[in-house]
Amino acid sequence: MPIAIAHLKDQLAAYLVRWPEDAESIRPLFALTGPEGFDRTTMPGHVTASAILVNDAGEVLLIHHKTIGRWFQPGGHIEPADDSLPSAAFREAVEETGIEPSALTLADPVPIHIDVHPIPANPRKNEDAHWHYDVRYLFHCADADPNPRTEEVHAAEWRPRTDLDSPDLAARLRALN
């Protein structure tokens, strides 16, 4: 069953209990009223899901994004078969990193971070510039070596938390230790 907008609203409410200071930055997500908010063709933006994979050493697993050419956490667009945002983040992590599903454990069902960021136009995919409303979940990763799918990403590496694209997210991870 596809993700329902009610699930997103529940996730946002739980998130704001923990991080009320983010209310203004995630305001665009509250404007989403139906399943089209999860569809990659919805403009000016749509929901995506990412996985923050942390190992026992406190490192994060980042992938080198082919299109944008930068290091990011694994994540991406919601697919019709996804039944929740954490499961979409889990699927993306497995697809992009090659980590065995059994090595990943969802640390918390509440997002650790939500980021609204611009995506540049991609003429190859016939996509205009738009916004991603990226809902990010924390996963513990048992000692596992990545085996990235090269059709998805250039590389996957365990890196310091400071390499994350958000200082707020890195600070939240530091606070958990």
* CA distance linking residue 148 with residue 101, whole number of Å: 14
pLDDT-derived band at 148, boundaries 50, 70, 90: confident
Q: Which 8-state DSSP code applies to residue 33?
A: -
Nearest CA-CA partner of 94 in 131, 47, 61, 124 = 61
> Residue 78 maps to which CATH number?
3.90.79.10
pLDDT number for residue 140: 97
pLDDT number for residue 1: 66
Q: Whole-model pTM?
A: 0.95
pLDDT tens track for 4-33 = 999 999 999 999 999 999 999 999 999 999
Q: Which 8-state DSSP code applies to residue 6?
A: H
pLDDT tens track for 31-64 = 999 899 999 988 899 999 999 999 999 999 999 9
Rounded to a whole number, what is the largest CA-CA distance in the chain?
43
pLDDT number for residue 65: 82
pLDDT number for residue 67: 72
pLDDT tens track for 91-136 = 999 999 999 999 999 999 999 999 999 988 989 888 899 999 999 9
pLDDT number for residue 161: 92
For residue 96, what are the domain limits?
A: 5-176
CA angle 166, 150, 157 (to 5 degrees): 40
pLDDT number for residue 2: 82
- If one counts the domains in the chain, the total is 1
Is residue 25 within 8 A of residue 120, CB to CB? The reply is no
Handedness of CA 40, 157, 91, 33 (dihedral sign): negative
pLDDT-derived band at 173, boundaries 50, 70, 90: very high
DSSP notation for 53-120? EE-TTS-EEEEEETTT-SEE-SEEE--TT--SHHHHHHHHHHHHH---GGGEEES-SS-SEEEEEEE-
